[in-house]
Amino acid sequence: MEKNESTRPKLSRESLREAVKIFEYIRPYKWQFIFGLFLLFLGSTVFLIFPKIIGQMLDVAQGKVTTDLDLKTIGFWLIGILVFQGIVSYLRVMMFAQVSEKGTADIRVALYKRLISLPIVFFEKSRVGELVSRLTNDVEKLYNTFYFILAEFLRQIIILVGGIAVLWWMSHRLAFVMLATFPVIVIGAMFFGRWVRKLSKERQNKLAETNTILDETLQSIHAVKAFTNELFESRRYSRSNSSVVNVSMRYAKGRAVFAVFIITMLFGALFFVIGYGMHMVQTGQITAGDLIAFVTYTAVIGGSIASLGNFYTELVGAVGATERVREILKSPAETEERPRGNTNAGRLRGHVSFENAHFSYPTRPDVEVLKGVSLEIPAGQKVALVGQSGAGKSTIMQLLLQFHFPTSGDIVVDGKNIYDYDLESYRRNFAIVPQEVILFGGTIRENILYGKPEATEDEIIAAARQANAWDFISMFPDKLDTIVGERGIKLSGGQRQRIAIARAILRNPSILLLDEATSSLDAESEKVVQEALNNLMEGRTSIIIAHRLATIRDVDCIYVLENGRIVEQGTHEELSALEEGVYSSLARLQFEMA
């Protein structure tokens, strides 16, 4: 609880400067914003007329003032002002709605574009839930700021300043009495209320802890009964409930004291102002209508002061949200961090070489993953990477895709350092089929088209046939328009793999990356998928990570990695012939078990 209080965002010159920068997204709608502010000022000013008109009506009804206006005429004027106020309010809401809806939509789009352009290391350091929160909750706070909080904050300031000015004009003496007592009480009530709300949050936290115990116990009821811990859980739940009661009693005491404060101090101050005003009515210094108007203005000013406190808290929260949003928007995109040139890669042949490459992940700089890796992959050849988990196999693929930069050494494709190429045109030469295929939640067609969005229907079907996927696709009632479900959950593992292969075939890459693409499949599915992979690898550079050595017997070269180094290389037959070799040991172990 204390941590939440201490980490609450606070206003500073830097935070305000960042908050102001977010207004660049409403610059295209500046005239709607300016017109909305004008209507806000006009509506707030008109609102301040109502208490005076009500007091005027009372004086006319009592015959205390001489005027050409009667009650009926004043009533018509009041209706006219109400209609005008309604029109102004409608237009103001619509103006701010345009600014807030379109402005926050632009922020969301800009934030999303920046987010997906950031380097992989950013996502390795960040939690997905936090990033989603920035794109939803933080932007929603900015929406509320543009649409409601900012307008109401300014409106209450106008009402506060205008109300005090009107009171001072009506009666200097009575205004001085009000200003000396009433605002002090209202501000005190705001701080008192904050203390009570803090106790309320503490009570909710304790109650949540109690509910957690209940949830855990019911979720794990088999374990509770198996270990005969019913008495232990009952005591734990009772202790938690006792802490809820203790906090609740403090909360009740706080509410009781707050109620006494409101009744005695706030109403006492109001009655004091009313009593002094009645004395002035009795001595003829003001009229009864002026007193009614004065008390109404006082209530309005009190409400404005209280509202300003709440809106200030909301604005501070919005400033914090702005800082978090700006943090992403200011982060350098992947293309901005690249160390070299932007030559268009075109269609690469796919000759790959690593030259003494060293690498440590930015999140683990003290652990060297690759320790001087050198390898050569001629264009069109099939190469396999073999080794224990953590040997550096996936890291080689990630470096080749430019997800990370090597600490030292070079990575060359077709005789040119990969960082000399334009990133987008370079990656267009790649396709990857991972071990765990995660499809997008749309249709089969949309998932295959991800490899080439402009492909024709015939190209999609041809790719599906090559991937051995058309047989099961054609059996679905909706065929290519079949919904795959979230993350492809409605399809089997083998079906998902073949959809991913069809996507890669449609991509027609120069360099194909297969990351244990059949390791999680049963024997029957693996056979069908392996046939599809053989079709896919035909005539292109293929780099395969494999744990099942039976799937890589026919590759042109196998590189064996151990602790970030290449310790062996050769064909399956050559490496199997090495009696003390790492590969031969793995092969004997797997084939004997098979």
Distance of alpha carbon 590 from alpha carbon 584, whole angstroms: 10
Which residues neighbour 111 within 8 Å (Cβ) at sequence distance 6 or greater?
A: 134, 135, 139, 325, 328, 329
C-alpha distances (whole Å) from 468 to each of 448, 501, 574 are 13, 9, 32
Q: Measured between alpha carbons, how far apart are the two ends of the chain, in Å?
A: 58
Distance of alpha carbon 221 from alpha carbon 230, whole angstroms: 9
SS3 letters across 56-109: HHHHHHHCCCCCCCCHHHHHHHHHHHHHHHHHHHHHHHHHHHHHHHHHHHHHHH
Distance of alpha carbon 237 from alpha carbon 247, whole angstroms: 16
Which are the catalytic amino acids?
516
Question: Cα Rg for the chain, rounded, in angstroms?
Answer: 36
With contact defined as beta carbons under 8 Å apart, do 497 and 432 qualify? no
With contact defined as beta carbons under 8 Å apart, do 590 and 549 qualify? yes
Distance of alpha carbon 117 from alpha carbon 453, whole angstroms: 19
Distance of alpha carbon 442 from alpha carbon 569, whole angstroms: 42
Distance of alpha carbon 505 from alpha carbon 452, whole angstroms: 9
Q: CA-CA-CA-CA torsion for 252, 253, 256, 258, nearest 10 degrees? A: -110
User: SS3 of 567, please?
Assistant: strand
Which residues neighbour 460 within 8 Å (Cβ) at sequence distance 6 or greater?
A: 445, 448, 449, 480, 502, 506
Return the ∠ at Cα 88 (arms to 83 and 90), rounded to 5°.
95
With contact defined as beta carbons under 8 Å apart, do 563 and 371 qualify? yes
Provide the b/e sequence for 436-453 (b: ≥16 CB within 10 Å): ebebeeebbbbbbbbbbe
Residue found by looking up tokens 């001595």 in the block: 283
CA 217 from chain center: how many Å? 32
C-alpha distances (whole Å) from 111 to each of 128, 130, 255, 324 are 14, 14, 43, 11
With contact defined as beta carbons under 8 Å apart, do 529 and 520 qualify? no
- Please give the structure tokens belonging to residue 504: 């890669």
Distance of alpha carbon 41 from alpha carbon 38, whole angstroms: 5
Q: Where are the alpha helices (DSSP H) in 171-287?
A: 172-219, 221-226, 230-261, 267-282
